[in-house]
Copies of this chain bind each other. A is one copy, B any other.
Amino acid sequence: MRRFATMAGEMTMREPTREGVQTAAAKVAEILPPTPLLPFEVDGITLWAKAECLQPIGAFKIRGAWHRLTELSEAERARGVVGLSSGNHAQGVAWAARKLRIRATIVMPRDAPRVKLERTRALGAEIVLYERPGEDRDEVAQRVLEERGGTLVHAYADPWIIEGQGSTGIEISAQMERWAGGRPTRIVTPCGGGGLTAGLALACSEAEIVPVEPEGWDDVCRSLESGTIQSVAPDAPPTACDALQTLATRPVNFAVLKRRCRYGLRVSEAEVAAAQRFAFEHLRLVLEPGGAAGLAAVLAGKARAEGRTAVVLSGGNVDPARFAAAVLG
């Protein structure tokens, strides 16, 4: 057991493990069919797209939320949960909470895509809004926790969340063994706080793991480059990738990333829109900007594609006008 600083001060937190990922994968397999792994070609090379946008909530976040909430004791379940999210983790927590009959409160930014706010509410969660930028979401969540009690379910700085997201990698490995002639040698993935990325790293220890961030929101890239956790600059440019707008990764994530990721990649807003267009045309999938960041890195030639490369398409919750603008190019 190691101790990490968290928003609630210093607390004991276990490290996520590969065994935990396998437990999570077994739990997820009981309630959710594997999302498809779809082949596609770039310059004559076949790659494999893991379509997490096809989860019932439209994003991989359902995995971590299910693993986390099913681990709560009866007493903890009775006190409810509090989540912090720009929208996809919100829906994951709300979905799992509804299924387990747990009260869920989610702290969300007022500028989250309307579709994410509406769906989180439709899943029965109570939403507490905060202003981004301006208010500190961790402080808002802390206030909600103090007022209502309950368990904080962080979007990425949590070993269960990391293990749950890692179940994506277990599925990718099994699917590629069947259809691609072997396990993945490389996984390119959108990266926000590093929950999914760390989970994939634990799940697929033989693969190169490549996190991709929007330009300016490259805290993980810079953290990997410097060897210590870096934050996004206060004057970071706007990005359509709302799901990847995290200010900094956390020690529980970075401990894994530092060990397993040699580098991260940055993609532009135009590259992200081009990836949404490609997924529309060649995969018939709806991707939100953040969900298309990994694909953007591949299509832009920034991520290498040879070997057996999987690309995670992490989410598809996007407002119609933004999507229409992307596919019309």
Q: Is the CB of A33 within 8 A of B328?
A: no
- Roughly how many angstroms separate A284 CA and B36 CA in the complex, as a whole number? 13
Q: Is A115 positioned at the interface, with any CB of B under 8 Å from its CB?
A: yes
Measured between beta carbons, the chain B residues less than 8 angstroms from A38 are 54, 56
- The count of identical subunits is 2
Q: With a CB–CB cut-off of 8 A, which chain B residues contact A281?
A: 115, 320
Number of interface residues of A (CB under 8 A): 32
Task: Determine the distance from Cα of A179 to Cα of B30 in the docked complex, in whole angstroms.
Answer: 10
Given contacts A39-B56, A321-B328, A328-B321, contact A33 B175 (CB under 8 A): yes
Nearest CB in chain B: distance from A248 CB, A? 29
Complex contact A280–B33 (CB within 8 A): no
Choice from B115, B179, B321, B327 contacting A33 with Cβ under 8 Å: B179
> Closest CB-CB distance, A260 to chain B, in whole Å?
28
B-facing residues in A239-281 (Cβ within 8 Å): 277, 280-281
B316 pairs with A327, CB closer than 8 A: no
Given A323-B327, A324-B324, A327-B324, answer yes or no on A316-B36 (Cβ-Cβ < 8 Å): no
A90, CB-defined interface residue at 8 Å: no
Bound form: Cα–Cα A122–B102 in Å: 51
Q: Tell me how far the C-beta of A315 lies from the nearest C-beta in chain B, rounded to whole angstroms.
A: 8
Known contacts: A39-B56, A175-B33. The answer to whether A284 contacts B286 by CB under 8 A is: yes
Residues of B within 8 A of A317 (CB): 284
- Contacts A33-B175, A36-B36 given; indicate if A280 touches B328 (C-beta within 8 A): no
With a CB–CB cut-off of 8 A, which chain B residues contact A33? 36-37, 175, 178-179
Known: A51-B54, A54-B283. 15 other contacts (CB 8 A): A33-B37, A33-B175, A35-B36, A36-B36, A36-B54, A38-B54, A54-B284, A54-B285, A58-B284, A280-B323, A281-B320, A285-B285, A320-B327, A320-B328, A320-B329
Seen from chain A, the residues whose Cβ lies within 8 Å of a Cβ on chain B are 33, 35-39, 51, 53-54, 56, 58, 115, 175, 178-179, 277, 280-281, 283-287, 316-317, 320-321, 323-324, 327-329
